[in-house]
Amino acid sequence: MTTPDSITIRRPDDWHVHLRDGALLAGVAPHTARQFARAIVMPNLSPPMTDVAGVSAYRERIMAALPAGTDFTPLMTLYLTDHTDPDEVERGHSAGVFVAAKLYPAHATTGSAHGVTDVANIMPVLARMEKIGMPLLIHGEVTDNHVDIFDREAVFIERTLIPLVKALPGLRVVFEHVTTSEAVQFVESAGANLAATITPQHLHINRNAMLVGGIRPHAYCLPVAKREHHRLALRKAATSGSAQFFLGTDSAPHAKHLKEAACGCAGIFNAPFALESYIRVFEEEGALDKFEGFASEHGPRFYRLPLNEGTVTLERAPVTVPDEIDVGETMVVPFHAGETLGWRFRP
């Protein structure tokens, strides 16, 4: 099959990213702002972003961390806890501070210790979000110790998502970073109020990447990569052209020494070569014509935001990903470290 030497698409957005704070923010945010016009910024800082004042101040810190003149809009999210006040949610949303709210089940992942212990505790908040049309973003894993880590997403669908969608059918939900065929099937069967983001890593690697030939902490993120048949289901969904699936990198940098440790942190830093990584999947699947929808159209339509003006180009050229990237105060190992990718990003 012949494929073009370059592809130009409408400027894309990243619908799920961790930009961190402090010195790390200044080191990582420019990588996202270089490729994407907007990004949904996760609120799992320490302490988490739980009110209008905190989220507004964080937004200012992000803008201050970018080089002057950078054309980038952070779309901010609120961190839900058992104690979130529905009025604060509505206030922040109508003021344009919160684009969405994030549900972390307590202790599901990095920075989720203050998350929600039982969705029943936040039903008044979710009902208000349904009423005002504010999207709910979900880290979809149960935290029950009796459930195997590889099953936690599928069990979350049964125990939490199905009842939630039934109770609040008008609530618009993004099932974040889906990793299983069960999640793909659930989203496809759920209708237009449900969508999902898909990361580059879950399209490229299965769990062998973490565990074969030695334990490889840089392939570890949450939800953890699953078996090969799940990866294939994700690739099919991402490249299908369905408006329910869109780009969300979940780029989650951690210092190299914090990943290469006896208890390594979860998270993969994929921002520097995110588009190069995704487009390779679309090329391999013979679906380059579906790339623009996934990267630049389905997300804004779901969030009811305008499509971006302007374009970016990816041209066919070998690009070698460095072994590590200096993000100011520390080194971080990027996704695809040491690999050569077949496309080069041109703003």
Extract the annotated binding site for Zn(2+).
16, 18, 102, 139, 177, 250
Which span (65-73, 125-133, 249-257, 283-291) binds Zn ion, by CB under 5 A? 249-257
CA distance 89 to 165: 20
Identify which of residues 250 and 297 has a Cβ nearer to Zn ion in the complex.
250
CA distance 272 to 262: 27
CA distance 113 to 205: 28
By CB under 5 A, how many residues form the interface with Zn ion? 1
CA distance 228 to 210: 13
Q: Where does residue 36 rank: exposed (0-12), middle (13-18), buried (19+ CB within 10 A)?
A: buried
Which residues contact residue 207 at a Cβ distance below 8 angstroms, ignoring those fewer than 6 apart?
Answer: 150, 224, 225, 226, 227
Which residues contact residue 129 at a Cβ distance below 8 angstroms, ignoring those fewer than 6 apart?
Answer: 89, 93, 101, 135, 136, 171
Give the torsion through C-alpha atoms of 104, 107, 111, 117, to 10 deg: 50
Residue 44 binding ligand DOR, by CB under 6 A: yes
Identify which of residues 266 and 337 has a Cβ nearer to ligand DOR in the complex.
266
Which residues contact residue 235 at a Cβ distance below 8 angstroms, ignoring those fewer than 6 apart?
Answer: 203, 281, 285
CB of 304 to ligand DOR, least distance (A): 25
- Which DSSP letter does residue 116 get? B
CB of 238 to Zn ion, least distance (A): 17
Interacting positions 129-168 with ligand DOR (CB under 6 A): 139
Among 73, 110, 121, 311, binds ligand DOR (CB under 6 A): 110
Among 153, 250, 276, 297, binds Zn ion (CB under 5 A): 250
How many CA atoms, within 13 angstroms, populate the side-chain half-sphere of residue 90? 12
251, 336 Cβ separation under 8 angstroms: no
Looking at the chain, which runs of residues are DSSP E strands? 6-10, 14-17, 38-41, 73-79, 100-103, 136-138, 173-175, 194-198, 245-247, 311-320, 325-326, 331-332, 340-346
Identify which of residues 139 and 256 has a Cβ nearer to ligand DOR in the complex.
139
Identify which of residues 44 and 181 has a Cβ nearer to ligand DOR in the complex.
44
Q: Which does 298 bind (CB under 5 to 8 A by kind): ligand DOR, Zn ion, none?
A: none
Interacting positions 222-261 with ligand DOR (CB under 6 A): 222, 252
Which span (5-13, 106-114, 166-174, 182-190) binds ligand DOR, by CB under 6 A? 106-114
CB of 257 to ligand DOR, least distance (A): 15
Identify which of residues 267 and 300 has a Cβ nearer to Zn ion in the complex.
267
The pattern of x and - marking residues 262 through 291 that bind ligand DOR according to CB under 6 A reads ----xx------------------------
250 is annotated as an active-site residue:
yes
Which span (245-253, 268-276, 308-316, 328-336) binds Zn ion, by CB under 5 A? 245-253
Residue 221 binding ligand DOR, by CB under 6 A: yes
CB of 266 to Zn ion, least distance (A): 9
Residue 182 binding Zn ion, by CB under 5 A: no
CB of 150 to ligand DOR, least distance (A): 15
Pairing of strands 331-332, 325-326: antiparallel
Among 10, 16, 18, 93, binds ligand DOR (CB under 6 A): 18
Q: Which residues pair with 326 in a beta bridge?
A: 331
Residue 32 binding ligand DOR, by CB under 6 A: no
- DSSP notation for 219-271: G--SSPP--HHHHHHHHHHHTS--TTEEE---B----HHHHSSTTPPP-BB-G
Residue 211 DSSP SS3: helix
Just list the catalytic residues: 250
- Per CB under 5 A, residues contacting Zn ion are 250
- Contacts with ligand DOR by CB under 6 A lie at 18, 44, 109-111, 139, 221-222, 252, 266-267
